[in-house]
């Protein structure tokens, strides 16, 4: 339940918006009802219904993640005491305007603390907003929930559990939960199923399976060299179980002995996860979040692990286009890579969109880290490193658009907006649709667009963005939440409309 007093105190102390007015009793009651309603919906794990998830994806030179929210999505209202109310939709990355999601079956016995989902729920539509009107603030870090690890990093966030669930890593896999996006708790992770020998990392989380499904990788499987793909499930966001190792998680040896899942979404037979197997792209599917099958390896689509496609990697996946669209990069050797897009009708059989040098290639390296429904159809974001000579300018943000997931165009570069000049390295890690507009985040930057083609860079306020790195964002109604790290600590940012 949203605590209006807590929100009021936080907004007065930490949010740059001033002259706020209190919500009246009717508005507050509506907000609370919306929260309870969306909580009920989130507990009904969607199956066989294509919705977008946030994912993590690397854009050269490093991988990050994504989420999509539609104007007609279910909403969560986080009460901002004053003239504006922060409305944050409580659902995974985003809920589409597809037909109503059917309820999944009960979770298998491997999932702990299982409980029956609610049986009824009512939807409320959010009002559209102007993305350019959003004002950012950084949620103060709470040392009481800090991990003993030197480095914490939130990789992905979704709506579920007590309100919000973020996943990432602290050396071990890590989960944080919150009822209001302001006060967060770290789920104990020093022992299995989140901790233990070796390294574990959660890269993406979505509503699905028994309630929530997170994917990533682990380096602790007995007798397995390197890391292997890993999956965790939860009914409520607080109690988690790790899916037992399956042959599908290991590496058949396509150019390496390491597998990892970077993004998961609802689609195909139920759930689809994408990532890498050594030096080639890889896809997994599941009907319930517990039993997983590796999609057949197609060298023409996923790569061979040898030049000219020395390394392929899928960073994000969304339900859209012909069925599903995945994005990532292809390492062509000699310190050069190209952006890449794959499509599938069912999540099992995949084809790579033919390479167009003017769109996906060029001098240096390009990579796509996130894709969402929005703009002319789909919008993908990432980064480009046009010069191997750092003195000539480094990493800069890049945007691609498509009406159908198959035909793509590159948004013209503008150094003033996308960066890339000396001392101005940028890259987009995630993109989300908000009403009719879009917001992209990456590093200590944020961008807004009304259509996916024309972009504006949000002024960098050092006290808010500083040395942080935003890696994932979810949106709904009239606000949004971004997660990442700031000074090696897990960090959350929020944005609300200005007066």
Residue 174 is assigned to a structural domain of this protein: yes
Residue 178 is assigned to a structural domain of this protein: yes
- Is residue 273 predicted with pLDDT exceeding 70? yes
For the stretch 308-335, pLDDT in tens is: 767 899 999 999 999 999 999 998 776 6
Residue 409 is assigned to a structural domain of this protein: yes
Residue 69 is assigned to a structural domain of this protein: yes
Residue 239 is assigned to a structural domain of this protein: yes
pLDDT, position 190: 85
In the block, tokens 């195909």 appear at 268
Residue 120 is assigned to a structural domain of this protein: yes
**Total count of domains within the chain:** 1
Residue 429 is assigned to a structural domain of this protein: yes
Top-ranked range on mean pLDDT: pick from 11-20, 44-53, 219-228, 277-286:
277-286
For the stretch 398-415, pLDDT in tens is: 999 999 999 999 999 998
Q: State which residues form the domain around 63.
A: 4-96+106-497
The enclosing domain of 153 has a CATH number of 2.130.10.10
pLDDT, position 205: 98
Residue 101 is assigned to a structural domain of this protein: no
For the stretch 412-461, pLDDT in tens is: 999 899 987 777 788 999 999 987 799 999 988 899 999 999 999 998 77
**What's the chain's average pLDDT?**
75
């Amino acid at each position: 339940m949203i605590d209006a007093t807590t929100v009021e105190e936080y907004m007065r102390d930490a949010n740059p918006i001033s002259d706020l007015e209190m919500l009246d009793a009717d508005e507050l009651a509506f907000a609370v009802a919306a929260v309870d309603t969306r909580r009920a919906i989130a507990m009904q794990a969607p199956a066989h219904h294509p919705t977008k998830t946030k994912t993590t994806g690397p854009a050269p030179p490093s991988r990050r993640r994504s989420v999509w929210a539609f104007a007609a999505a279910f909403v969560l209202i986080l009460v901002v005491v004053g003239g504006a109310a922060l409305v944050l939709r409580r659902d995974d990355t985003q809920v589409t305007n597809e037909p109503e999601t059917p309820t999944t079956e009960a979770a298998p016995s491997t999932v702990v603390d299982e409980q029956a989902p609610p049986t009824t729920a009512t939807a409320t539509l959010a009002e559209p907003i102007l993305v350019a009107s959003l004002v950012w603030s950084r949620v103060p870090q709470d040392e009481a929930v800090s991990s003993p690890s030197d480095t914490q990093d939130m990789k992905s966030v979704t709506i579920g559990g007590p309100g919000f669930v973020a996943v990432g890593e602290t050396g071990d896999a890590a989960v944080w939960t919150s009822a209001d996006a302001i006060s967060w708790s770290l789920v104990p992770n020093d022992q299995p199923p989140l901790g233990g020998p070796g390294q574990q990392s959660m890269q993406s989380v979505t509503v699905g399976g028994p309630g929530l499904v997170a994917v990533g990788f682990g380096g602790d499987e007995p007798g397995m060299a390197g890391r292997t793909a890993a999956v965790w499930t939860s009914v409520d966001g607080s109690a988690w179980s790790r899916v037992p190792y399956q042959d599908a998680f290991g590496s058949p040896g396509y150019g390496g002995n390491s597998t990892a899942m970077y993004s998961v979404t609802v689609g195909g037979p139920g759930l689809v996860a994408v990532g890498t197997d050594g030096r080639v792209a890889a896809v997994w599917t599941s009907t319930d979040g517990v039993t997983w099958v590796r999609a057949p390896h197609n060298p023409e689509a996923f790569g061979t692990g040898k030049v000219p496609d020395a390394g392929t990697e899928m960073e994000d996946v969304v339900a859209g286009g012909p069925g599903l669209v995945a994005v990532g990069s292809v390492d062509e050797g000699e310190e050069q890579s190209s952006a890449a897009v794959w499509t599938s009708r069912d999540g099992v059989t995949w084809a790579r969109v033919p390479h167009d040098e003017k769109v996906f290639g060029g001098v240096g390296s390009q990579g796509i880290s996130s894709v969402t429904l929005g703009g002319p159809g789909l919008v993908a974001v990432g980064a480009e490193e046009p010069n191997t000579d750092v003195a000539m300018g480094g990493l800069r943000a890049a945007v691609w658009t498509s009406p159908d997931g198959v035909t793509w165009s590159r948004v013209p570069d503008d150094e003033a907006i996308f960066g890339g000049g000396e001392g101005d390295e940028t890259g987009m890690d995630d993109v989300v649709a908000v009403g009719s507009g879009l917001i992209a985040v990456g590093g200590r930057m944020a961008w807004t667009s009304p259509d996916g083609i024309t972009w504006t860079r949000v002024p960098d306020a050092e006290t808010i963005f500083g040395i942080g790195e935003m890696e994932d964002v979810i949106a709904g109604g009239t606000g949004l939440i971004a997660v990442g790290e700031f000074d090696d600590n897990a960090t959350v940012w929020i944005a609300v409309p200005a007066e």
